[in-house]
């Protein structure tokens, strides 16, 4: 049993809803087949966007969606993706499978998707192979409300009014696929490109600089030292690999208990990355004006057998549900600096929310975690005091319990909880301070097999259910977390 204290009067600041953001790249079957099928498709669609995926994503109230990459962004020339579909340039997607990209899903289609989802767009600009003028004109095309060559071109392509665009990334992974730059060189390039990312009309751009990969603290040091006055956010990328080896990452399904443990251990490494990068950011930005934007995170396994290695298609199990729950609890915990996070990726790629196969679609365990956790969006984070019991496997020990708590605008307190152990349940006794709440209920995501997943034949093999046994009496909340589970509790007056 573990004892927890929840301080209901401890306002730890708002949890930015953008922590629950997502990422869509022209990679594999994410855009084409996953989101975009075209208006002539037999799959029911709205202006080319498939309806089943659209409906599923609408239920998550996705706050922000990143596009068009990823590595694809630094070879993407936006002018190829506007105008009549039949006249759009075709290109080779050199990063992901060497397949043809017909540019049928471009600026108008992406921003229409965001409108249908009710989400904020986050555009990644091309620094690697693009020009300053190209980036400047893209922002002008999307946001200028007046007479100009780009605004007039937008109007001739069917969009009279400009879009609202807040989030714009000036490059992506410029230490790698975005140009193999040194931090010192990119810092200067960032300053130059960002200068011409203008605020047109009344649109205000939140500029995001390319940040480090994993533990490249030198990159953060240089970018913050040389350019923090010119940025609103700095990105961070970290993927969870069961093996930690890129050449053989481990399998998405059929894994053993050791793989489970190592995956969760590597997931917890995210906390060290947030803390150490934040310490560097604090030196130059003690008031936390620059947000840490974790715009690529999630699991990365070997691709499913028989699929294109460049498409990064993988299944999604209860292990992915735990990875999602742990990371989201961490992002909530460091809400002062972490202002956005974008799971990679939204459909059919890596740790996806949704998988499709022809006209079929299934929701993954990760989808259900995001559904359960959306209660934290824009809520006040509350302080939790507890010491987790250890979860030992072989000679390694990690915490068994991951928790987060917040109070929403209606005064309802929510607690999200993960039991990392694959064998042991965990009883939790939580003392509620400074609240007279008396009613508690919960939902739990759990399956008897740690490798359980949904298939097109069994789409509801892993789904949340009512969490029986959650009690609240005399200010004491009690619950038992089954092994390998993720739960959410609502506490009301």
Alpha-carbon gap, residue 130 to 139, rounded angstroms: 14
- The dihedrals phi and psi of 171, each to the nearest 5 degrees, come to 95, 170
- 296 catalytically annotated: yes
Taking CA atoms, 12 is separated from 106, 324, 382, 408, 413, in Å, by 40, 22, 6, 13, 14
Q: Which string of DSSP letters, residue by residue, matches 274-296? A: HHHHHHHHHHH-TT--SEEEEEE
- The dihedrals phi and psi of 327, each to the nearest 5 degrees, come to -60, -45
- 173 catalytically annotated: yes
> β-strand 360-363 against 476-481: which pairing, if any?
unpaired
Contact 135, 181 (CB under 8 A): no
Q: Which string of DSSP letters, residue by residue, matches 97-110? A: TTEEE---S-HHHH
What are 420's two structure tokens? 């990392």
Taking CA atoms, 200 is separated from 119, 123, 139, in Å, by 21, 16, 8
- The dihedrals phi and psi of 160, each to the nearest 5 degrees, come to -70, -55
Active-site residue among 173, 189, 251, 380?
A: 173
Residue owning tokens 């993407």: 76
DSSP 60: T
The residues, ordered by sequence, that sit 6+ positions from 438 with a Cβ below 8 Å of its Cβ are 472, 492, 493
290 closest CA partner among 237, 371, 231? 231
What are 370's two structure tokens? 């995001």
Active-site residue among 25, 109, 296, 380?
A: 296
Alpha-carbon gap, residue 370 to 320, rounded angstroms: 11
Alpha helices in 118-201 (DSSP H): 132-143, 149-156, 183-195
Alpha-carbon gap, residue 396 to 410, rounded angstroms: 42
Catalytic residues: 173, 296
């Amino acid at each position: 049993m573990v004892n927890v204290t929840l301080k209901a009067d401890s306002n730890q600041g708002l949890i930015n809803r953008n922590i629950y953001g997502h990422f869509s790249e022209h990679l594999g079957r994410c855009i084409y087949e996953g989101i975009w099928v075209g208006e002539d498709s037999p799959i029911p669609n709205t202006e080319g966007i498939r309806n089943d995926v659209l409906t599923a994503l609408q239920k998550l109230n996705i706050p922000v969606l990143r596009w068009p990459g990823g590595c694809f962004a630094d070879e993407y020339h936006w002018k190829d993706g506007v105008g009549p579909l039949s006249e759009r340039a075709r290109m080779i997607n050199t990063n992901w499978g060497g397949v043809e990209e017909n540019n049928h899903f471009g600026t108008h289609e992406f921003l229409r998707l965001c409108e249908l989802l009710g989400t904020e767009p986050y555009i990644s600009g091309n620094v690697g192979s693009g020009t300053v003028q190209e980036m400047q004109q893209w922002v002008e095309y999307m946001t200028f409300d007046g007479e100009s060559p780009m605004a007039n071109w937008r109007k001739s392509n069917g969009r009279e009014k400009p879009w609202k665009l807040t989030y714009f990334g000036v490059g992506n992974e410029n230490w790698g696929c975005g140009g193999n730059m040194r931090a010192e060189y990119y810092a200067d390039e960032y300053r130059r490109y960002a200068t011409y990312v203008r605020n047109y009309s009344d649109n205000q751009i939140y500029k995001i600089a390319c940040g480090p990969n994993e533990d490249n603290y030198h990159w953060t040091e240089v970018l913050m030292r040389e350019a923090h006055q010119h940025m609103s956010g700095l990105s961070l990328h970290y993927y969870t690999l069961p093996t930690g080896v890129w050449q053989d990452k481990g399998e998405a399904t059929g894994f053993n208990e050791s793989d489970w443990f190592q995956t969760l251990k590597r997931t917890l490494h995210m906390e060290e990355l947030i803390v150490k990068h934040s310490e560097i950011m604090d030196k130059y930005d003690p008031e936390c004006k620059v947000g840490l934007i974790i715009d690529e995170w999630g699991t990365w396994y070997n691709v499913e057998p028989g699929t294109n290695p460049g498409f990064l298609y993988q299944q999604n199990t209860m292990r992915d549900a735990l990875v999602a729950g742990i990371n989201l609890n961490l992002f909530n915990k460091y809400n002062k600096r972490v202002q956005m996070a974008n799971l990679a990726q939204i459909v059919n790629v890596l740790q996806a929310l949704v998988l499709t196969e022809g006209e079929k679609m299934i929701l993954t365990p990760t989808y259900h975690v995001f559904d359960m956790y959306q209660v934290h969006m824009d809520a006040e984070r509350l302080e939790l005091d507890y010491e987790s019991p250890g979860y030992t496997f072989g000679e390694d020990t990690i915490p068994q319990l991951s928790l987060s708590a917040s109070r929403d605008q209606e005064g309802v307190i929510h607690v999200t909880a993960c039991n990392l152990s694959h064998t042991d349940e965990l009883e939790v006794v939580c003392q509620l301070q400074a609240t007279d709440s008396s009613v508690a209920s919960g939902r739990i995501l759990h399956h008897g097999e740690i490798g359980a997943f949904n298939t097109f034949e069994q789409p509801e093999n892993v789904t949340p259910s009512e969490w029986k046994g959650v009690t609240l009496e005399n200010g004491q909340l009690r619950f038992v977390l089954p092994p390998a589970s993720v739960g959410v509790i609502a506490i009301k007056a």
